[in-house]
Structure 1
Amino acid sequence: VMALRLPDVDYEDTEETLDCRSFAPSAFEMMQRIRRQGKMCDVTLKVNECKFTAHKIVLAAVIPYFTSMFTTDMAEANGNEIEISAIDENALEHLINYAYTGKITVNVETVQSIMIGANFLQLQVVKEFCANFIKSHLHPNNCLGICQFAELLMCMPLLEKAKSYLNQHFVEVSKSDEFLDLSKEKVLSILCRNELHVKSEEQLFYAASAWVKFKYTQRCEYMHELLQHIRLPLLRPQFLTDVIQMDAAIKSCLRCRDLVDKAKDYHLMPDRRSDFPPNMVRPRYCTEIHEMIYAVGGLTSAGEALNTVEKYSGLVGRWELVASMKTCRSRVGVAVLAGQLYAVGGYDGMNRLNTVEMYTPETDEWCDIKPMQEKRSALGCVAYEDQIFVCGGYDGVSSLSNCEVFRPHTQEWQKISPMNKSRSAAAVGVFEGCVYILGGHDGLSIFNSVECYDQSIDKWCMKVPMLSKRCRHGVASLQGCMFVFGGYDGQKFLNTVEVFDRVTNQWSFVAPMSMRRSRVGIAISGGKIFALGGYDGCTNLNSVEVYDPETNSWRKSDRMWAHEGGVGVGTIPLPLL
């Protein structure tokens, strides 16, 4: 054979590599076939009465547990039969097959045993795969069991996901058999959480009461310990008297009755509120709940009314347009009720409006509903207890003191008692289970006064005034405090922020916004407060900034895309994870 004389020729590329992508898969596939035939196997794994033959080199190459066993001086390194007692036989078969194929299939019946086996064999990739499968199958009926399972395997990503699910779905979880079967210590650890998503402490009491009643004779003596972790001062006096005080386990326990009496003192003697531990008078808030923020109507830079609506998700970090309202509305009132957005009154550029539209996110459509009795722009508007409250505003002639309430189940607007003052461009919010209206003006004077509506007696009562006079400002309530933002005091446009503390019964200043903002829109999402748009005295704004109450600091957020100036703002919770 003639010898090749390649080195005598001058080539640019003198080296090439064959990289056969199918080499490893085809080799392992052949080894799996050989194993199935029982040939060349040098180890047997025994679980109970089941035996599985395999090749040490394959197990050592893929499974860390066997890597250590077969490459060290362990006694099993030279043995032909190894007993495995910590793994279910079916799970072990799946994991051996994975060592040869790189594939494994789990379902709701097998995932738990396979994950236990993967944890024992230190197969982290398989363990994470199983954990992700379990995460996608979290449910109120299995959430607590998954918490315990993840804790047992020290799988922190699964544990954190299950705890987050518990926080977001506590009410549903508390009705499960798993919850009723919990130990006292586990129930107490749940009742301690600040992050539970509840409308009120009433839901915590009902959960604790149901747990006690499930095994009443054994558990009634624990009611005092449970009650210590329910924030009784935050409950309505009527609920304390009519429900909690009447509970059999509480009636029979002197220490329980003492706790209820102390909670009543919180309402009867406000000057003693500072005696209560801060965590017992601070409402729970689940920062894992995020809302879709809607910016509604408002003004163009030329001062014309808009019918444009856009929405923002902080999780995505993007504004996008949704269906426009039928009517252009500036100085519009916005409220959210039962997952639907209401645009109430406003000014269309020519007339003050009494018309109302309702937006349904699922269909991306607006529809007209029954109009208010009064025409109003610059009105206060808020939803509370399945009703929409509108307060004051301007009818084109004068500022208004009258108020009305819309009840969706009757589709009727009904007048309630008028405020003590006529108020236009005031801020309206819900705080301590009541509707508050703050500041505003009557056409002549700007106020710092505050009123609160007592629904039980249909009366407005004066409360502690703000430190600054404000109109065209915003308000938000979060974690037991009420914040007011920006506005106009008659001389200057404001960037200042005040907070009212229910315990001290006083207003104080906190970190100011980075910009002066009157006609500012306010929204809460994920435990943060968003300040949207407004007017700084020279320019209509599309900028957004976000306040963190925990750090008392502001940061910039994504600018609105389609709005400038004063917008109506509403938030609709995103679906729970």
Structure 2
Amino acid sequence: MSNCESQKPEAAKDNVSTNSIDEGLPRELSQLSLSSGSNPDEYHFNKGHSESTMKNIYGYYQSQKLCDVTLIAGGCRIPAHKVVLASCSEYFAAMFTGSLREAQSSEITLERVDSQTLRSLVQYCYTGIIELSEDTVEILLSTASLLQLHSVTKACCDFLEKQLDPCNCLGIALFAEQQSCMSLHKSAVDYIQQHFMQVVKHQEFLSLQTEQMSELLKSDDLNVETEETVFESLMTWVKHDNANRDKNLSELLKLVKLPLLSSEYLIDKVEQVCCDIPECQPLIMEAVKWHLLPERRSLLFSHRTRPRTSTIGRLLAIGGMDGYKGASNMEMYDPRTNSWTPFMRMGARRLQFGVAVMQNKLIVVGGRDGLKTLNTVECFDLTSLSWSTLAPMNTHRHGLGVAVLGAGANSPIYAVGGHDGWIYLNSVERWDACSRTWTIVSPMAGARSTCGVASLRGRLYAVGGRDGGACLRSVECYDPATNHWTNCAPMTRRRGGVSVCAANGYLYALGGHEAPANTVGGRLACVERYDPANDSWVLLARLSYGRDAIGSCLLGDRIVAVGGYDGVQYLCVVEVYDSESNTWRKLAPLSTGRAGAAVVSVPPPRNLF
């Protein structure tokens, strides 16, 4: 008899290391049970019966008595009891209780199975205990998966999940996929995406196959600060084995979002590296067109123009009505986790105010404090998390619209229309960041409050609102070059309390009310889009609820609609619009309902997020 044949199973251990699992037994089987039946003098005792039985069976296993099957692996013979194996393993249960010839066999040979691993798993079937370590966990997992020992498989997956690190997560993800352990695979992929900037510094990343690299670059969930990081990671991978990987560069470059790189980076870095590869030239030209022809971007949309989730920043929902005296708090939405968290508070309570973001600063303009209409302006620095005061507007305004016109660091802010506490306003004023003053510009043709205001293609649009009478359909457009307002095509519906957002070369008008705001009915769920190229509006997919006073903002390349008032309650619902499918999809709700909140997109500086 060989040494393997003569080995006896180890005795059960009283103390198990921390790297083990112990399933134990059902609680009701391990405790004393005294129950009376129909006969009051009859009692049933069940104290430790299961433990005692399994201890005896394990004793027979150790002494190799009453065994009715021998498992053979790698030349080693492991006697066991079919009923024990079948009770723990679906693999053995199907083998021993089915019509296969193995059901009658006293010897079973398992090909390509490690003998020591098999011995450990058989012993687990008797004791519920198995040792896990970094050296053995992978072979234990693969063998347990084969034998369909699900509890061991799960324990191994849990163990590996705790071992995830930037230096090993790619390997664990591949191994989990090969073993069809989808929960572990998802955890590993999530870890890779979250720690991408650290993962690319390790050898596993450089050793990826082309198909694996492609799957990685496809993900919009890579946690990167800019798309430049993705391009540089790709080039590092290619240069690691330039002779064999150069031919794959053009295909992999399609997965880098070149249009979202800066124009300087495109010329200085991308073109220099890829200029000699003809297949890369159309991709570079597409990116250059994106920068040079912004008015044609609606024709250039592709997966390369959709930003990765980590680069689109965060949403801030600021103030608004919350059913009490009005909210002064802010909530922040993280698209990576699809969750809202409390942020800062405003310096003072404001309702029906306007907000703009520029130079990493939040500019809060006008509104009312519950008693009077304000002309004051506050500035919140998103880097230092501090408030300061700016020069006040010339006119007190609530229900105004605020927008930044331009993309430069010192682009002007416009405060449009509103109500001064006495009358509806058609006046407009502009904040100059250099002189730090407000100046009056050309007024609109008509007064309007609670209108939607947005900038698009270098012009300012004022949409809908109220003028003291009915709600308005009218739309006006301001050209800063001529300091003049012109009328545009009216909306299909009258909309007071409308929310307006510019996205992808269009204006979007969301919700609002047709009847007076203090009536229950008349809240709108319909959404329409304005195309400045042909001066026309078209209706789109409806929101899930009719409401006005929605906060809306462009986050990445998609519009998010936040909160609102349906005539009865302040809503916490949040929806995102997919222009490709023309559908609205719900996101995580606000922590509390609010209407008239200012909603803006802010960048994710390191010290803040």
The answer on 1:223 being equivalent to 2:249 is yes
User: Which position in structure 2 is the counterpart of 1:449?
Assistant: 477
The answer on 1:344 being equivalent to 2:371 is no
Deviation at 1:116, TM superposition (A): 0.3
The answer on 1:393 being equivalent to 2:415 is yes
What secondary structure is seen at the aligned counterpart in 1 of 2:527?
Answer: strand
Letter in 1 for 2:389: P
Contact preservation (8 Å) 1:131, 1:158: yes
The answer on 1:297 being equivalent to 2:319 is yes
Contact preservation (8 Å) 1:294, 1:312: yes
Contact preservation (8 Å) 1:282, 1:480: no
User: Which position in structure 2 is the counterpart of 1:485?
Assistant: 510
Deviation at 1:99, TM superposition (A): 0.5
Cα deviations by residue, 1:112-171 (Å, 9 ceiling, x for unpaired): 222101111122333234334434554444343233212212233433444455555555
Residue of structure 2 aligned with 1:253, choices 277, 285, 297: 277
User: Which position in structure 2 is the counterpart of 1:191?
Assistant: 217
The answer on 1:13 being equivalent to 2:38 is yes
User: Which position in structure 2 is the counterpart of 1:546?
Assistant: 575
User: Which position in structure 1 is the counterpart of 2:22?
Assistant: none
The answer on 1:101 being equivalent to 2:127 is yes
Alignment of 1:82-97 (within 5 A): 82-97=108-123
Contact preservation (8 Å) 1:419, 1:451: no
Change (3 A) 1:257 1:94: same
The answer on 1:204 being equivalent to 2:230 is yes
Change (3 A) 1:501 1:74: farther
Aligned length: 535
Residue of structure 1 aligned with 2:350, choices 329, 334, 350: 329
What secondary structure is seen at the aligned counterpart in 2 of 1:279?
Answer: coil
Cα deviations by residue, 1:444-481 (Å, 9 ceiling, x for unpaired): 9974438899xxxxx99999978649885445678998
Residue of structure 2 aligned with 1:566, choices 582, 585, 596: 596
What secondary structure is seen at the aligned counterpart in 2 of 1:297?
Answer: strand
Cα deviations by residue, 1:500-523 (Å, 9 ceiling, x for unpaired): 799999974312335554432136
Letter in 1 for 2:38: D
Residue of structure 1 aligned with 2:180, choices 137, 154, 159: 154
Residue of structure 2 aligned with 1:307, choices 322, 328, 350: 328
Letter in 2 for 1:92: L
Change (3 A) 1:227 1:564: closer
Contact preservation (8 Å) 1:291, 1:524: no
Deviation at 1:335, TM superposition (A): 7.6
Unaligned runs of 5+ in 2: 1-35, 517-521
Change (3 A) 1:401 1:120: same
Contact preservation (8 Å) 1:429, 1:475: yes
What secondary structure is seen at the aligned counterpart in 2 of 1:211?
Answer: helix
User: Which position in structure 2 is the counterpart of 1:363?
Assistant: none
Change (3 A) 1:531 1:180: same
Cα deviations by residue, 1:25-56 (Å, 9 ceiling, x for unpaired): 33223323443455555555454476644333
User: Which position in structure 2 is the counterpart of 1:6?
Assistant: none
User: Which position in structure 1 is the counterpart of 2:30?
Assistant: none
Change (3 A) 1:335 1:134: farther
What secondary structure is seen at the aligned counterpart in 1 of 2:51?
Answer: helix
Alignment of 1:360-379 (within 5 A): 368-374=386-392, 378=400
Contact preservation (8 Å) 2:376, 2:391: no
Contact preservation (8 Å) 2:501, 2:552: yes
Unaligned runs of 5+ in 1: 1-10, 361-365, 405-412, 454-458
Change (3 A) 1:400 1:422: farther
Contact preservation (8 Å) 1:484, 1:499: yes
Alignment of 1:502-517 (within 5 A): 508-513=538-543, 517=547
Q: Structure 1 length as normaliser, TM-score? A: 0.69
Structure-2 separation of matches of 1:241 and 1:326: 45
Residue of structure 1 aligned with 2:92, choices 61, 66, 72: 66
Structure-2 separation of matches of 1:22 and 1:452: 87
Contact preservation (8 Å) 1:283, 1:479: no
Structure-2 separation of matches of 1:284 and 1:326: 33
User: Which position in structure 1 is the counterpart of 2:206?
Assistant: 180
Letter in 2 for 1:226: L
Contact preservation (8 Å) 1:438, 1:451: no
Structure-2 separation of matches of 1:494 and 1:205: 45
Contact preservation (8 Å) 1:452, 1:463: no
Contact preservation (8 Å) 2:572, 2:591: no
- Structure 1 residues 259-268 or 393-402, which shifts more? 393-402
Residue of structure 1 aligned with 2:306, choices 260, 277, 283: 283
- Structure 1 residues 437-446 or 188-197, which shifts more? 437-446
Superposition CA RMSD, Å = 5.7
Letter in 1 for 2:430: S
Structure-2 separation of matches of 1:37 and 1:386: 83
Structure-2 separation of matches of 1:485 and 1:186: 42
User: Which position in structure 1 is the counterpart of 2:551?
Assistant: 521
Change (3 A) 1:208 1:337: farther
Alignment of 1:397-476 (within 5 A): 399-404=428-433, 438-439=461-462, 447-449=475-477, 468=491, 473-474=498-499
What secondary structure is seen at the aligned counterpart in 2 of 1:92?
Answer: helix
Letter in 1 for 2:253: L
Cα deviations by residue, 1:297-347 (Å, 9 ceiling, x for unpaired): 224669x55425567899999999887545212234568999x99683443
The answer on 1:532 being equivalent to 2:556 is no
Change (3 A) 1:153 1:319: closer
Deviation at 1:483, TM superposition (A): 4.3
- How many percent of aligned residue pairs carry the same amino acid? 27
Deviation at 1:74, TM superposition (A): 3.5
What secondary structure is seen at the aligned counterpart in 2 of 1:328?
Answer: coil
User: Which position in structure 2 is the counterpart of 1:355?
Assistant: 378
